[in-house]
Chain A
Amino acid sequence: MKEMFIGIDVGSVSTNLALLDLEGQVVQTVYLRTGGRPISTVQLGLKRLRETMGSSSLPKASATPLQSEDDRGQTTESLEEQKTTEGYGFSRSSEEIRIAGVATTGSARRLIGLMVGADLVKNEITTHAVAALHYQPDAQTIIEIGGQDSKLIIVRDGIVVDFAMNTVCAAGTGSFLDQQAARLGMEIEEFGNLALTAKNPVTIAGRCAVFAESDMIHKQQMGHPLSDIAAGLCEALVRNFLSNVGKGKEIKPTVVFQGGVAANPGIKRAFEKVLGYSLVTPEYFGVMGAVGAALLARNQYLTTKKSSNFRGWQLCTEDITTVGQTCDGCSNHCELVVLKRGGQVLAYLDDRCGKWSDLVTETAGEAI
């Protein structure tokens, strides 16, 4: 029997899963777009993980019967696909694999934690730091730029001593780059390489996404080549990151650069130009949150030897939905989220006073 650990990072833009073995080696990673549907995306992600594992750890006794076709409610990508691949790996087992720990992270960590029966629900700052330090123990600075947020984590002697996250402004994150690449009519993948070819990067106001955009348009109309504009934007985003998130924090090498934007060579070079040394981009830079979560699940398992709360692979095919509900208990009118499996309520989330969320947490596992 092989013990493995799953880390699930459900961010606003992407959902990443990582499967680690007992030694902490990454066995498999999955990268998906969240597309505003965290639950079905995680179901799809788990299914992908399982496909590649090609073995089963379906608990025989506790397997929940599948819902009938009619009861499934929303049709989602995962459920559609499910029909064709149902039952794929159940007998293909070459080596028995047991999921010994699951951890969730990212902005939907609580919701997904309750859904999968996570053993650990951890904030994304910690998981990113854990993963970065696992691969680069001498790191002193971690820069993580994702779809909607960016983080700067300061490490000294192998421990986190300070961190910062961007506040309300999304300028300088992946979404903005995506948007600008689209406006210039190119793939985001091309954008970074184009920036590398720049001869004379133009200056673009990076303080605010709106100003940056109008500045870019102005520069285009003035006749500057696209490559210079692309490079200028990369430099503007880096400046914005360093002044907005960095705010005078001392950035020392070794600097680990991770998150989806680390795939962009233009941004990486702009950072290197300002800092004066090269950045380290780890192999799994795009899924570090998930890797960190899985590493933490592994650590917890190694220290406590507690068996996992993981609800099992059948949850990929279960009819799990959320329903919005407004509480009229007081004038706060909390917008509750009700997590349901079939007709059964698994959990309530997002109430201020806790009168709903306390109702069912005991049945939904010990994740929170």
Chain B
Amino acid sequence: MVIGIPRSLFYYYFFPFWSGVFQALGLTYLVSPETTKGIMENGATLTADEICLPVKLHFGHAHYLADKVDLIFSPGFGRWGRRSHFCPKLISLPDLTRLQFQGTLEFHHELDEANSIVEEYWLAPLRQLAPGVKKKTLLYALKEGENKQAAFVALCRQGYLLPQAFKELDVRLASGEDPARMFKAGSQQEKGPRILVLGHPYMVYDNLAGQGLLQTLTKAGARVFTKEMVPAAEEDKLWPTQEKRVFWTLGQQMLSAAYYYVSRRQIDGVIFHSACLCGPDALIGELLEKYLGKVEDAPPLLKLTVDEHTGDAGLQTRVEAFLDLLEWRKQYAAV
């Protein structure tokens, strides 16, 4: 039996965990390829118009897998940690997927108040995948997955961008190194502007939806920081004057990351990369602006919004101009 994992949504963060669990149970899985135009178009035709791009992409990837695998891995995301939620589209994702495709593996990828995986949600789907396997073995597999995830998270916090962290994780595991050990810092360029890219990982790192933002930045010699690099103790922290926690998990993480880097003066510019039609993002963008507006000598902010119709040219022009602006600012500060 082959399980199909769509390369969408929280593949871009929890793949080490998922793959770790499946490997430990000796299950075979297939990951859909990097997003192509075809995948994006299929996703757009399979979904309602007003659905956001990430969900469209998810359907495109599921469609790619539909005739190649026995079960489509179809997680839903409700809440991670305390008072932290996802939008209705991600909560209802297993249901939405079931309406469109046959043979889906439904479950909820939730995190408890201590931010660890809620095992009880996993036991039912794992029993479906590996019938007859003892609970003890299943729990062991979950532990294996969690270890792999922990190693990946540690890599991210060392400054690796997500795709590099995935790659590095495989290299380390293949060489038999203890994944839980701390790794040395990722190699990023020494000079060049330091840019904090805030966005949903499944947008920023997607081949098409990201529109080459990270490549453009690294090509231009910029050092990229993301919310995944923020230390655990800080990743959920409210800024001192923030009146209340943001309802949305990723939204709060983005704001906390902005607070972490900006208050430490560790970055030169902030790029907010959001999906068109993303309800939470519309609020987060405003809050981010509000926060930066109160900081003295705050780093400049560039807001980018993408949907499936956006061409790369507009993004390139804006990012280039933004880098010019930062350079200009630096020269001015030096005078």
Give the B-binding residues of A (Cβ under 8 A). 107, 122-126, 157-163, 165, 167-168, 330-333, 352
Contact = CB atoms under 8 A, between A and B. Distances in A.
Contact of A168 (B212, B309, B317, B320): B309
Given A107-B313, A168-B310, A163 B320 contact: no
B324 A160 contact: yes
26 contacts: A107-B317, A123-B318, A123-B320, A123-B321, A125-B317, A125-B320, A125-B321, A125-B324, A126-B320, A126-B321, A126-B325, A157-B332, A158-B332, A159-B329, A160-B324, A162-B325, A163-B318, A165-B314, A165-B317, A167-B305, A167-B314, A168-B310, A330-B36, A331-B33, A331-B37, A332-B36
Contacts of A122: 320, 324
B289 to A, nearest CB: 9
A160 B328 CA distance: 7
Contacts of B38: 331
A161 B325 contact: yes
Nearest to A161: B300
Interface in B36-55: 36-39
Nearest to B316: A123
A123 B315 CA distance: 11
Nearest to A158: B332
Given A124-B317, A126-B321, A331 B36 contact: yes
B310 A160 contact: no
Contacts of A168: 309-310
A108 to B, nearest CB: 10
Nearest to A248: B289
A157 B320 CA distance: 21
Nearest to A125: B321
B26 to A, nearest CB: 31
**Main secondary structure on chain B at its contact with chain A?**
helix
Interface of B: 33, 36-39, 212, 300-301, 305, 309-310, 313-314, 316-318, 320-322, 324-325, 328-329, 332
A126 B324 contact: yes
Nearest to B324: A126
Given A162-B301, A163-B325, A331-B33, 14 more contacts: A123-B316, A123-B320, A126-B320, A126-B321, A157-B332, A159-B329, A159-B332, A163-B318, A165-B314, A165-B317, A167-B314, A331-B38, A332-B36, A332-B37
Contacts of A125: 317-318, 320-321, 324
A162 B37 contact: no
Nearest to A157: B332
A69 to B, nearest CB: 36
A233 to B, nearest CB: 26
Contacts of A330: 36
Nearest to A166: B314
Contact of A333 (B37, B316, B325): B37
B65 to A, nearest CB: 14
Contacts of A163: 318, 321-322, 325
Nearest to A296: B324
Given A167-B305, A333-B37, A161 B321 contact: no
B223 to A, nearest CB: 21
The 6 A-B residue pairs with the shortest CB-CB distance in the complex, in nearest-first order: A125-B321, A331-B36, A123-B320, A126-B324, A123-B317, A159-B332
Contacts of A161: 300, 325, 329
Contacts of B317: 107, 123-125, 165
Contacts of B332: 157-159
A161 B317 CA distance: 16
Contacts of B316: 123
Contacts of A331: 33, 36-39
Nearest to A109: B317
Contacts of B318: 123, 125, 163, 165
A311 B98 CA distance: 60
B283 to A, nearest CB: 15
A137 to B, nearest CB: 13
A186 B183 CA distance: 70
Contacts of A107: 313, 317
A323 B271 CA distance: 35
Given A157-B332, A167-B314, A330-B36, A162 B320 contact: no
A159 B317 CA distance: 18
A330 B320 CA distance: 28
Given A157-B332, A165-B318, A123 B324 contact: yes
Contacts of A123: 316-318, 320-321, 324
Contacts of A167: 305, 314
Contacts of A159: 325, 328-329, 332
A165 B310 CA distance: 14
A163 B37 CA distance: 30
Nearest to A163: B321
A352 B309 CA distance: 16
A148 to B, nearest CB: 11
Nearest to B329: A159
A352 B34 CA distance: 13
Contacts of B33: 331
A298 B317 CA distance: 22
Contacts of B329: 159, 161
Contacts of B310: 168
